[in-house]
Amino acid sequence: MAKNEKMVEQITSMDVDFAQWYTDVVKKAELADYSGVKGCMVIRPYGYAIWEAIQRDLDARFKALGHENVYMPMFIPESLLQKEKDHVEGFAPECAWVTVGGENQLAERLCVRPTSETLFCEHFRNVIQSYRDLPKLYNQWCNVVRWEKTTRPFLRTSEFLWQEGHTMHETEEEAREETRRMLDVYRDFYAESLAIPAYTGQKTEKEKFAGAVETYTIEPMMHNGVALQGGTSHFFGDGFARAFDITFTGRDNTVRYPFQTSWGVSTRMIGAIIMTHGDDNGLILPPAVAPIQVAIIPVAQHKEGVLEKAAELRDLLAKKFRVKLDDSDYSTGWKFSQYEMKGVPLRLEIGPRDIENNSCVLVSRVSREKKFVSLDGIAEAVEEALKSVHDELYNRALENQRARTYDAHSYEEFLDIAQNKSGFIRAMWCGETECEEKIKDATGGVKSRCIPEHEDHLSDVCVCCGKPAKHMLIWGRQY
Amino acid sequence: MAKNEKMVEQITSMDVDFAQWYTDVVKKAELADYSGVKGCMVIRPYGYAIWEAIQRDLDARFKALGHENVYMPMFIPESLLQKEKDHVEGFAPECAWVTVGGENQLAERLCVRPTSETLFCEHFRNVIQSYRDLPKLYNQWCNVVRWEKTTRPFLRTSEFLWQEGHTMHETEEEAREETRRMLDVYRDFYAESLAIPAYTGQKTEKEKFAGAVETYTIEPMMHNGVALQGGTSHFFGDGFARAFDITFTGRDNTVRYPFQTSWGVSTRMIGAIIMTHGDDNGLILPPAVAPIQVAIIPVAQHKEGVLEKAAELRDLLAKKFRVKLDDSDYSTGWKFSQYEMKGVPLRLEIGPRDIENNSCVLVSRVSREKKFVSLDGIAEAVEEALKSVHDELYNRALENQRARTYDAHSYEEFLDIAQNKSGFIRAMWCGETECEEKIKDATGGVKSRCIPEHEDHLSDVCVCCGKPAKHMLIWGRQY
């Protein structure tokens, strides 16, 4: 067992090398594996089970709001991609192109979808004729490709999995509401299911999606203070509709252009989970998306009655929770480390003495606190303990986010924070792209995250140029 | 309403033009739409909801047998595809190739996966070291691309959605068992969930999968007597393991090659549903995968209490079934046609007189029989009626399959059947590929479907060459 126990020790400490720690966790928790294909990863069963839990949860939230799933082709003919000017400029540089099909050079090359606005628009044109056909509330779960130079599992890969919602509305107001509503869905999902607090708000002109009028974003902060763009929701106005000639007959019998939104989150969220909650013992999973919520570890399992009792507990708890009983012949200590590494939120230990006392031990993966609980009402105790794990995770992340969010009242203070602290910076801004670019260059990569939904008034002037401030911006380095 | 009612009349009759009937149903039932991308389709909400029901059902069957979902990259480097000789020969001609990524010509071109044996093998090599790592029982749900010249929605498209199971085993026997077990899963799923009976059996050498030692297949017969290859399960021996150098240390401490299987079914099954069960009024969906199982149509809905009662019924039934109440202002007749077209298995009519009698009317989409049932115990009545629809569908398809399966005792009889009947032909076969080719040429496309699991003895000699017969073969034209 010595060899196995070493496995856990092999994780690099977060404080020593956060990037290496991340890579170690991805590998040792068996979330993903590298592949021979540049920039593409293999999502292993344990990692994919997290994605399945995320999909189930989000999909139910989307459907509760009336969204329907569809599937669009994965290829976009070059001429179709080019129909919206800003969009093609944004995406063409990172496209993968199919040029040969079935042994023949193609007359027109096909882009492997980096996002599917153009394909949805082509279809919307076929199925929208009257205001009675609106709204169209579509979503698809699929793979997309954006050619990346440097990649990291989950955080940035050339191929990734995501959902992309695409909706069409009769009025601008309705489309704007949808854009904000879906940002709220993401924020709620991050908080309620991933136990991740986050800033939400609007992207600047510079940072918005190619082709969008407005982009809204959710920006969780990772444990080390670096931002991860966690999801976006875009309002397109009627720009794509005009470019793709999508029209409908309105209630007043005039021909109109519909208003459009799109919104998406991806497997990147698994990276956010790792980097928000993990520690030096490995992964920590929020209970809502943990493939195993409770690991039952029998203690002194060779003793009479222990395995039987453990199996009985598993059968009881499996009715309500995702449970694994590990009755393998590894040592108890190895099992403890193993399920800690894999981030299982709750460990249930049961041994001969516990059975005598009609009790067991629950151990939180976060606080590592041990709690002796009676086997009567064990399901309720487990439920409560899982809720505690969720709350502990959320509060800890919120505390980290608060502690690492700094206010800059002057350019010098901004540069000082950017150089000496790792976290988010709140500062006033004039609204000009030049100031964003100046700050990015001066700090070696600090970029605006968003104009937060609730802006405070830190001063009257832009932290960069001193001109009158229009907004408060949140800034940070990003993955 | 006249305009709307015409919609139903526009379906071409099956007997007049089966291919046009199929296209009409796909379009009018809003299952799929054509896209501007050659050979690729848009799967619309109603069609995709069928696919989601199929996924839920099959995924549970796979997981109950211990399979885990994973996700592999969608690109296969050309050198990786070439590692197994037969495999690359089979698939290279129908690959789509990515040659440009992020504005640069790629050093090695990438095939968009037509199937993922090679990628799974590359990963298996990393994660299999000891017999303790076996079996690996993996599955993935994804899109694949096979460049097709002539395409039809669901039946044959350049891109399609499917699941592909890939497993590795310690012994040949275990892998062979897995291959057969998964064929059984498919047969049970077709029968129990799609209400489709089918022949199952082994493919000949000529028809087996590129790189497989043995291929098993499920071959349902469509309403018009044409076969649809409905799913396959392959035994690979250790061929890929040797080509990819995948080894493990066995129980006896020697280094061994593991034994492999793969198996898959696709969105093509939606084509099978349409062509097995549909009629001149449109689609008919088996209850297990119908997005709407019960359509509630209020009669004289302007009368007091009708809509309230209908909504009450919907709320009650929605606890157990997928229900839609249509209280739109279309005419009752239009609604009847509409949900018939969409293949909803059961219609529930409720009007003022029914309410007075504390009853309602259930109408089967298959038999169109009307049944007056009491509102007391309505959930049980609906359950029973759905079960009846399933059984009616299955039995009707089985009858058609039996009526259209012919025995050929001589070459002349074979050609006569092939020319004058549409259906399957059972005949004895010597085991030689030449005879398959001769028959295919002589009949303009009749191909062997499978050596069925239960062979009858029709004669001692091959129907084609007269040499001693080795097997009974089932033959047919295919989609």
Overall average pLDDT of the B430-440 stretch = 97
Interface contact flag, B71 A149, Cβ < 8 Å: no
Interface contact flag, B71 A43, Cβ < 8 Å: yes
Interface contact flag, A74 B159, Cβ < 8 Å: yes
pLDDT along chain A (479 residues), means of 10: 48 96 97 92 98 98 98 97 90 94 93 97 97 98 94 96 98 98 98 98 96 97 97 97 97 98 98 98 98 97 94 98 96 96 98 96 96 96 98 98 98 97 98 97 97 95 97 97
Chain B residue with Cα closest to A67: B45
Q: Does A130 touch chain B (CB under 8 A)?
A: no
Interface contact flag, B93 A103, Cβ < 8 Å: yes
Q: In which element (H, E) is residue A219 found?
A: strand A214-219
Residues of A in contact with B33 (CB under 8 A): 123, 126-127
Interface contact flag, B159 A49, Cβ < 8 Å: no
Q: Which of A44, A48, A73 sits opposite B159 (nearest CB)?
A: A73
Phi, psi torsion values for B131, nearest 5 degrees: -60, -20
Chain A residue with Cα closest to B123: A35
Higher pLDDT, A407 or B103: A407
Q: Does A93 touch chain B (CB under 8 A)?
A: yes
Token code pair at residue B48: 């995709």
- The reported pLDDT for the residue numbered A2 is 40
Selected for mutation to probe chain A from B52, B67, B71, B136 (highest A CB count within 10 Å) is B71
Q: Which of B42, B92, B143 sits opposite A143 (nearest CB)?
A: B143
- The reported pLDDT for the residue numbered A30 is 97
CA B198 to chain centre: 11
Tell me the nearest-neighbour CA distance from B134 into chain A, angstroms.
Answer: 14
Using DSSP, state whether B232 is helix, strand or coil: strand
Interface contact flag, B51 A71, Cβ < 8 Å: yes
Q: How far apart are CA A227 and CA A429, in angstroms?
A: 19
Q: Does B42 touch chain A (CB under 8 A)?
A: yes
DSSP H helices, A96-143, are 117-127
Q: Does A99 touch chain B (CB under 8 A)?
A: yes
* Nearest alpha-carbon partner for A348 in A323, A318, A315: A323
Interface contact flag, B122 A94, Cβ < 8 Å: no
Residues of B in contact with A329 (CB under 8 A): none
- The reported pLDDT for the residue numbered A1 is 35
Interface contact flag, B71 A93, Cβ < 8 Å: no
Q: ipTM of the predicted structure?
A: 0.95
Residues of B in contact with A97 (CB under 8 A): 98-101
Q: Which of A44, A119, A149 sits opposite B35 (nearest CB)?
A: A119
Residues of B in contact with A52 (CB under 8 A): 69
Specify which residues A343 forms β-bridges with. none
**Is the model's pLDDT at B7 over the cut of 70?**
no
Chain B residue with Cα closest to A74: B159
Per-residue pLDDT tens digits for B377-432: 999 999 999 999 999 999 999 999 999 999 999 999 999 999 999 999 999 999 99
- Residues 224-283 of chain A with CB under 8 A from chain B are none
Chain A residue with Cα closest to B103: A93
- The reported pLDDT for the residue numbered B1 is 35
Alpha-carbon distances of A466 from A440, A446, B188, rounded to whole Å? 17, 19, 73
Interface contact flag, A96 B103, Cβ < 8 Å: no
Q: Does A107 touch chain B (CB under 8 A)?
A: no
Specify which residues B130 forms β-bridges with. B249
Q: Which of A51, A138, A147 sits opposite B102 (nearest CB)?
A: A147
Q: Does B127 touch chain A (CB under 8 A)?
A: yes
Residues 6+ apart with CB under 8 A from A199: A218, A219, A220, A221, A401, A424, A449, A450, A452, A474
Specify which residues B217 forms β-bridges with. B201, B232
Q: Is the dihedral of CA B64, B66, B69, B72 positive or negative?
A: negative
Q: Which of B49, B77, B94 sits opposite A36 (nearest CB)?
A: B77
Interface contact flag, B74 A159, Cβ < 8 Å: yes
Strand-strand pairing, A199-202 and A214-219: antiparallel
Interface contact flag, B70 A143, Cβ < 8 Å: no
Tell me the nearest-neighbour CA distance from A98 into chain B, angstroms.
Answer: 4
Under 8 Å CB pairs connecting chains A and B tally to 155
> What confidence tier does B436 reach under pLDDT thresholds 50, 70, 90?
very high
DSSP H helices, A148-305, are 172-192, 239-243, 268-277
Angle between helices A18-28 and A268-277 (to 10 degrees): 110
Residues 6+ apart with CB under 8 A from B157: B39, B40, B41, B148, B151, B267
Tell me the nearest-neighbour CA distance from A301 into chain B, angstroms.
Answer: 21
Q: In which element (H, E) is residue B262 found?
A: strand B259-266
- The reported pLDDT for the residue numbered B38 is 83
Interface contact flag, B68 A45, Cβ < 8 Å: yes
Q: How far apart are CA B134 and CA B137, in angstroms?
A: 8
Strand-strand pairing, A231-237 and B405-407: unpaired
Q: How far apart are CA B204 and CA B306, in angstroms?
A: 60
Q: Which of B42, B71, B110 sits opposite A48 (nearest CB)?
A: B71
- The reported pLDDT for the residue numbered A9 is 55
Interface contact flag, B68 A49, Cβ < 8 Å: yes
Q: Does B398 touch chain A (CB under 8 A)?
A: no
Q: Is the dihedral of CA B201, B205, B206, B211 positive or negative?
A: positive
Interface contact flag, B109 A100, Cβ < 8 Å: yes
Q: Which of B93, B94, B96 sits opposite A98 (nearest CB)?
A: B96
For the beta sheet containing A96-101, the strands, ordered from the edge strand earlier in sequence to the opposite edge, are A75-77, A104-112, A96-101, B96-101, B104-112, B75-77
For residues B382, B384, B387, B388, the Cα torsion angle rounded to the nearest 10 degrees is -100
Q: Which residue has the tokens 């949860």?
A: A57
- Residues 355-394 of chain B with CB under 8 A from chain A are none
Give the distance between the most distant pair of CA atoms in chain A: 81
Token code pair at residue A114: 């980096």
pTM, rounded to two decimals: 0.96
Cis peptide before B135 (omega within 30 of 0): yes
Residue B361 near residue B349, CB atoms below 8 Å:
yes
Interface contact flag, A123 B74, Cβ < 8 Å: no
**Is the model's pLDDT at B19 over the cut of 90?**
yes
Give the distance between the most distant pair of CA atoms in chain B: 81
